[in-house]
Chain A
Amino acid sequence: GQQVMQIPQYQHVQEGEDFTTYCNSSTTLSNIQWYKQRPGGHPVFLIQLVKSGEVKKQKRLTFQFGEAKKNSSLHITATQTTDVGTYFCAEWNTDKLIFGTGTRLQVFP
């Protein structure tokens, strides 16, 4: 099925290190949403980006939408063990939300 590609697929970091996940599409994205899924949990909405070049911050999380609206990134500064989980980008496409492949983050204390 249609999916937006994310890299890396998996990353483990030491607590306190930074982390970035990238979301890439071959076509222009109308918007991008980010979700977090804790191990054993369900996806939880983090943010939505709509405008070209948009940057939004939530505490240690910084979200960017590319100028060409073909990519997006999520950056976490000074990771904590509570950041563990899988981060998905997702795009609304003809009334349905299409999820990316996800980046699984592991944080070691």
Chain B
Amino acid sequence: DTGVSQNPRHKITKRGQNVTFRCDPISEHNRLYWYRQTLGQGPEFLTYFQNEAQLEKSRLLSDRFSAERPKGSFSTLEIQRTEQGDSAMYLCASSLGSAGELFFGEGSRLTVL
């Protein structure tokens, strides 16, 4: 399968713990995006990378959130000291260039108890 891959698919954690999600984009795609989606809402932009450079971060992304794409291939999204409000689906998407179609992964669902 050469689509966007995310893991883990589900993560249940206790408040205060750190969690990390991984995204493997489509191999030739230079852009990688992270979104967050809560029930009944549309995906909300968090951050994006062009190759290894993080070019924009949303105001939604507090200091507890950090994303990396060290070699311009896979990306990780880490949430430190999780809070119940962090419970959501974290979606990764990739694209070839800008302003085109986004290809989404299946998402990583986070539940913070």
Which chain B residues lie closer than 8 Å to A97 at the CB level? Answer: 33, 45, 102
Known: A1-B45, A102-B42. A95 touches B56 (CB 8 A): yes
Known: A1-B58, A42-B107, A43-B91. A33 touches B45 (CB 8 A): no
B43 within 8 A of A: yes
Contact with A along B95-109 (1 / 0, CB 8 A): 000111111111100
User: Size class of B's contact patch?
Assistant: 20 to 34
Count of chain A residues with a beta carbon within 8 Å of a chain B beta carbon: 23
Contact with B along A23-44 (1 / 0, CB 8 A): 0000000010100000001111
Which chain A residues lie closer than 8 Å to B42 at the CB level? Answer: 3, 88, 90, 99-102
Cα A100 to Cα B45 with chains together (Å): 12
B41 touches A33 (CB 8 A): no
Known: A1-B44, A101-B42. A96 touches B107 (CB 8 A): no
Which chain A residues lie closer than 8 Å to B104 at the CB level? Answer: 42-44
Known: A1-B60, A43-B91. A101 touches B41 (CB 8 A): yes
A92 touches B43 (CB 8 A): no
B21 within 8 A of A: no
B74 within 8 A of A: no
Cα A97 to Cα B101 with chains together (Å): 10
Known: A43-B91, A88-B42, A101-B42. A96 touches B56 (CB 8 A): yes
Interface residues of A in 54-109 (CB under 8 A from B): 88, 90, 92, 94-102, 104
> In the complex, what residue of chain B is closest to A10 when comparing beta carbons?
B40
| 5 sampled A-B residue pairs with Cβ under 8 A | A3-B42, A94-B56, A95-B48, A100-B42, A101-B42
